[in-house]
Chain A
């Protein structure tokens, strides 16, 4: 079983739609969680950190369920510029090692 699992997609949604991605992690010792977005041939950019049960930033909401070991990302009112790959990332312990999921690709269309 992979340490961090994501549905690769692609998720094709129209502009204005709400879309949700889920991510599961296997290591119950994971203590902090992040969502990054990555555009084609660019670096990952930090989207949100999720340290407790959840976090909201504008159109983006991240939730953490420790009991079930999953993290979700909800995007409301999708925009064309949201088209990217979304990476779910967990950090385990004090070693600063980030474990990346393989990413979920989102394509927002007109």
Chain B
């Protein structure tokens, strides 16, 4: 079973709100990722967690704050977002970090910032 789940499916938030996106996998994968995808563009990597530690931050603004409470869960905390942050946010996981491992994506959270 290669399932990654994400909640919520859709989120509308104002620029002063604080919200969180959640991602869960039960495949025993030790690497988890956050991507952002705008319409008609490929996914862009935001963060990589390996063994629950942040290993890559692709110079993401601090209004996005990732958290990995345990090996199955990944959160993305959102605060003071801008309308241009509206996008599909995808979570992915892989068995381990490293070039051999395939990444499996969750269905995404479609975020609209008003």
Where the two chains meet, the residues of A that have a C-beta atom closer than 8 Å to any C-beta of B are 31-32, 34, 41-46, 49, 51, 87, 91-98, 100-103
Residues of B within 8 A of A91 (CB): 99
Determine whether the beta carbon of B107 is less than 8 Å from that of A43: yes
CB-CB under 8 A from B55, the residues of chain A are: 95-96
Select one of A42, A49, A94 contacting B102, CB under 8 A.
A49
- The answer for the CA separation of A95 and B31 in the assembled complex, in Å, is 11
Q: Give me 22 A-to-B residue pairs in the complex whose CB atoms sit less than 8 angstroms apart, sorted by A's number.
A: A32-B99, A32-B100, A41-B88, A43-B106, A44-B43, A44-B90, A46-B2, A46-B102, A49-B102, A91-B99, A93-B99, A94-B98, A96-B48, A96-B50, A96-B98, A96-B103, A97-B45, A98-B43, A98-B103, A101-B42, A102-B41, A103-B42
Instruction: Point out residues on B near A: beta carbons under 8 Å.
Output: 2, 31, 33, 41-43, 45, 48, 50, 55-56, 88, 90, 94, 97-108, 110
A-B contact count (CB 8 A): 58
Question: Nearest residue in A to B98 (C-beta to C-beta)?
Answer: A94
Of A32, A49, A51, A100, the contact of B43 (CB 8 Å cutoff): A100
**B50: shortest Cβ distance to chain A, in Å?**
7
- Residues from chain A with Cβ under 8 Å of B108 in the complex: 42-43
How far, in angstroms, from A92 to B99 measured CA to CA in the complex?
7
| Residue in B56, B99, B108, B110 whose Cβ sees the most chain A Cβ within 10 Å | B99
The distance in angstroms between the C-alpha atoms of A103 and B41, with both chains bound, is 8
Q: A95-B55, A97-B48 are in contact. Are A51 and B100 (CB under 8 A)?
A: yes
